[in-house]
Amino acid sequence: MTTLKTPEFHLGGLQPLELEKLTLPELREVLPEVKLAVLTLGSIEQHGPNTALETDLAMAHEMARMASARLYPHILILPPIPWGMSAYHMDFPGSMTLRPETVLDTMRDIFRSLQQHGPNNWLITNFHSGNEGIISVAVQAIGAELKPDFFGSVSLALLEPDDIEAQVRKTPIVGHACEVETAELMYVRPDLVRSEDVAAGDLLHEHIDRRRRFFGSGVRLSWSFAEGTRNGALGDSRYASYEGGQNLVEGMMDEFMDILN
C-alpha cells in the first residue's frame, strides 16, 4: 500500500472560496466576483472495512473545493448536506437516510436563502448513486419554483475516464468501497482510508448477478446492499493506490473544469 499524502495535497496549495469560513465583510467584498454557488448532497453510509462512512460526501465536496480553488474567486462552495438517500445501506450500522421530502425541503430552503443575496447560478454536486433520483427531482421542481438564472447538477463519479478506470480496476464488480473508490479517496482524503484494515469485498454473487441482469434491462429493484456483500464492500481495495487515485481524480477534474468553464 502506497504511503498516503497529506489531506490537502490535492488542492495544490490553493485555497477554495467557502461560505462558512468568510466573515461578513469578506463575503460582501468577494460576492460581486462569484459566478456560481455549489452545494454538495452527500451520504453517510457504510463503506465496509476500507473507508469511512463519509466517503461519498468527501469525494463530492473535495472535488468541488478543488474546482473553487482553481477558479478562485468565481465559485462559492456552500456547506454540504451530509445526509442523502441511502435506504439500501440501512442493514449496516452507521448508515443514515433521509426521506425524499426532507432532502427537497432542505435544498429548497438553502437555495431560497441564497437567492436573496446571490449568486443566482447554482450547481449540485454528488458522488452517491442513491442521490441521483432526488437530485433530478430537485433541479426540476426547485428550478421551476425559484427560477434561478442557472440550476443544474453533476454526478462526478460518472466523469471517471474509462481508460484510467480500466487501469485501476482489477476486479469485475466495483462501484462501492472497491479498489477504484478507495484509490480516489487516497488522493483527496487519505485520512478516511483504513489502509491497515483494507479488505476485498465478501460478495454474494447470486444476488449481485440477479440485480445486474435486471439493471441491464432497465429494471430497478428495491434491495439491500447486504444482499450483495457480507462486509459492505465490492471489488478488492487491496489493489488501490495513491497514484491510481490521483490519475482518476485528475481525469475527472479535467472533465469537471470543462463543464464549469
pLDDT band at 3 (very low <50, low <70, confident <90, very high): very low
Q: How many residues does this entry show for the chain? A: 261
Q: Kindly tell me if the per-residue pLDDT of 36 is higher than 80.
A: yes
H or E stretch including 77?
Answer: strand 75-77
Question: What was the pLDDT predicted at 9?
Answer: 75
- Is the confidence at residue 114, as pLDDT, over 50? yes
Residue 6: the pLDDT is: 52
pLDDT at residue 12 greater than cutoff 90: no
Distance CA 38, CA 22 (A): 16
Q: What are the φ/ψ torsions at residue 23 (nearest 5 degrees)?
A: -85, 165
| Helix, coil or strand: residue 177 | coil
**pLDDT computed for residue 149 by the predictor:** 98
Q: Which residues touch 256 (CB under 8 Å, ≥6 apart)?
A: 63, 67, 154, 156, 159
DSSP string, 196-246: TT--B--B-HHHHHHHHHHHHTT------GGGTBSSS--SBGGG--HHHHH
Q: Tens digits of per-residue pLDDT, 118-128?
A: 999 999 999 99
- Give yes or no for a contact between 21 and 76, defined as CB atoms under 8 angstroms apart: no
Share of the chain above pLDDT 90, in %: 89
CA atoms within 13 A on the CB side of 251: 19
Cα three-residue angle 144-62-35, rounded to 5 degrees: 45
The reported pTM is 0.94
| Residue 174 reports pLDDT greater than 70 | yes
**236-246 pLDDT tens trace:** 999 999 999 99
Instruction: Quick: pLDDT tens for 71-110.
Output: 999 999 999 999 999 999 999 999 999 999 999 999 999 9
pLDDT the model gives residue 219: 94
